[in-house]
Amino acid sequence: MRKISDSTVRRLSVYLRFLEQAKSPTISSGELARLGGTTSAQVRKDLSFFGSFGKRGLGYAVPELTRRIRDILGLERGYRVVLVGAGRMGGALVQYHGFRQRGFHITAIYDQDARKIGSRWNGLVVRDVKHLESDLKKDPSDIAIVATPAESAQQVVDRLVRSGVKAILNFAPVPLNVPPDVEVKTVNMALELETLSYSLANR
Amino acid sequence: MRKISDSTVRRLSVYLRFLEQAKSPTISSGELARLGGTTSAQVRKDLSFFGSFGKRGLGYAVPELTRRIRDILGLERGYRVVLVGAGRMGGALVQYHGFRQRGFHITAIYDQDARKIGSRWNGLVVRDVKHLESDLKKDPSDIAIVATPAESAQQVVDRLVRSGVKAILNFAPVPLNVPPDVEVKTVNMALELETLSYSLANR
DNA sequence: TCCGCATTGTGAACTATTTCACAATTGGCG
DNA sequence: CGCCAATTGTGAAATAGTTCACAATGCGGA
Ligand SMILES: NC(=O)c1ccc[n+]([C@@H]2O[C@H](COP(=O)([O-])OP(=O)(O)OC[C@H]3O[C@@H](n4cnc5c(N)ncnc54)[C@H](O)[C@@H]3O)[C@@H](O)[C@H]2O)c1
Ligand SMILES: NC(=O)c1ccc[n+]([C@@H]2O[C@H](COP(=O)([O-])OP(=O)(O)OC[C@H]3O[C@@H](n4cnc5c(N)ncnc54)[C@H](O)[C@@H]3O)[C@@H](O)[C@H]2O)c1
């Protein structure tokens, strides 16, 4: 498959959100663009990398385009997701319905702290992180969320990678080293605030 | 000032993190690149937009470069930050020390829910969001964090903008409309998971 | 059936970002 | 003091991403 830019994939995800909320049976690239904060040419170009899904003069059939984008993004299958780090961020994430709605199911939670192990979180019992490898051997997951302190993040990631996890959403504010067949996205909120600071400082 | 790309600003923020942890008195572009996951040419180009801070043959003096980048990013001043939405995400954010460490001080928390108003969070009393405008008139803030449900996010943002807030970190998974002099960064975690899904589906 | 309008799909042009490559320095050492 | 090794700063080249512009439809109505 031709190399698709990250920005295109992110926009597809944005379009998908609006398609799922659309009430009319068809939608034009212009309308999707307006909703998603881009241009109609961009919408059409993004889609054109994957095929031609529209009808000239009419636009796109909402149900079909929705299905196509879900398919492109690999959302038709569901994902089992394990969470490591049952702290404040982990707690917010576990209760967040937005993930489940989109097919990402948190199926296990791990922590190191004896006070947390055994407690019940949103129907799941927090397990000792020492069982991470053996649990993943029995019930593999493709995706893991890392919400441990920065100091332990790399070590946790190494264990996840050894256990066959192929994609990691990382909340610790450190870049992580992984082999090339593993994908990592780091959400770094302090960094986002710093870009806001930059824009305040330079106007 | 010449237009600087978002990716350059984000990398500066990453370099800054490593500079703050560096133990040697000087550092080369190659070393910063290795730590930050980029190339030495990229590091030098990023810095060159703002001046020339290094010594040929030697590298960069850590304390000076640290100061320069903090200055470029506008981090030398501190920021007052208001948080709207005292839910699970808001709770995690209020307790997060990473923001304060970098000069972002949450100074007020607002919610709509009578059960939350008046409760004490990390030393701050949650206030009724109806006081938002009057409070901001007395004590202006440049930055706000929005952690309300998606449905109320735009409405909250409109009120923040009218009260003079110039930068917003948004956790609701919706694009927000703001005037051109206001900067918004949206952190969309479900979207990050979807890009991971895409990479799993296409290998 | 045929016309006119709306809108797609897509090369080509343009703009932005990254990488290359090398002259210019700096400091250390013989 | 002069040479060597290291490393910066930066134009120029290469790559990547966005916007333009228009021919190619498809549909609804006369
Ligand atoms: N709280 C926030 O709003 C926020 C914001 C941005 C980033 N973060 C980042 O997210 C991460 C988690 O933050 P938090 O506020 O939830 O911290 P926290 O201290 O509340 O939670 C971290 C949890 O990880 C557990 N842990 C530590 N080492 C572990 C290991 N090796 N294996 C398994 N579990 C382990 C701890 O026992 C704790 O329960 C941190 O890296 C933080 O920098 C948090
Ligand atoms: N919890 C997570 O892990 C998570 C992850 C990703 C995104 N988000 C997003 O972050 C936002 C907050 O999520 P949450 O899980 O904390 O939700 P939550 O329901 O726990 O909290 C939302 C809070 O906002 C308050 N609120 C509602 N309308 C308001 C208004 N007009 N003014 C002031 N306060 C108002 C509610 O009373 C509630 O306390 C949502 O948009 C959600 O999609 C959350």
Average pLDDT over residues A143-148: 98
| Tally of domains in chain B | 2
The reply to whether residue A98 touches residue B173, judged by beta carbons under 8 angstroms, is yes
Dihedral over Cα of A63, A65, A67, A73: its sign: negative
List ligand 1's pocket residues with C-beta within 6 A: A 84-90, 110-113, 116, 129, 147-150, 152, 156, 171-173, 189; B 92-93, 95-96, 98
pLDDT of residue B134: 98
Residue A172 belongs to some domain of the structure: yes
What CATH number is given to the structural domain containing A17? 1.10.10.10
Q: Which residue of B has its CA nearest to A188?
A: B187
**Per-residue pLDDT tens digits for A50-108:** 999 999 999 999 999 999 999 999 999 999 999 999 999 999 999 999 999 999 999 99
Which chain C positions come under 7 Å from a protein C-beta? 5-11, 16-21, 24-27
Chain-centroid distance of CA B156 in Å reads: 19
Same domain, B121 and B83: yes
Same domain, A48 and A87: no
Q: Which of residues 91-120 of B touch A (CB under 8 A)?
A: 91-93, 95-96, 98-99, 101-104
Same domain, A28 and A64: yes
Task: Report which ligand 2 atom has the smallest distance to the Cα of B86.
Answer: 39
Contact with chain B for residue A149, Cβ under 8 A: no
Distance A118 CA to ligand 1 centre (A): 18
In degrees rounded to 5, what are phi and psi of residue B114?
A: -55, -30
Instruction: From first to last of the 203 residues of chain B, give the pLDDT tens digit.
Output: 679 999 999 999 999 999 999 999 999 999 999 999 999 999 999 999 999 999 999 999 999 999 999 999 999 999 999 999 999 999 999 999 999 999 999 999 999 999 999 999 999 999 999 999 999 999 999 999 999 999 999 999 999 999 999 999 999 999 999 999 999 999 999 999 999 999 999 98
Close Cβ partners of B72 (under 8 Å, ≥ 6 residues apart): A198, A201, B12, B50
Alpha-carbon span A51 to B111, nearest angstrom: 46
Strands (DSSP E) found in A3-129 = 26-27, 54-55, 59-61, 79-84, 104-111, 120-121, 124-128
State pTM to two decimals: 0.96
The reply to whether residue A167 touches residue B191, judged by beta carbons under 8 angstroms, is no
Pairing mode of beta strands B120-121, B124-128: antiparallel
Identify the H or E element spanning B110: strand B104-111
Domain limits at A153?
79-191
What is the number of residues in chain A?
203
Average pLDDT over residues A179-192: 96
Please, which pLDDT band fits residue A203 given cuts at 50, 70 and 90? confident
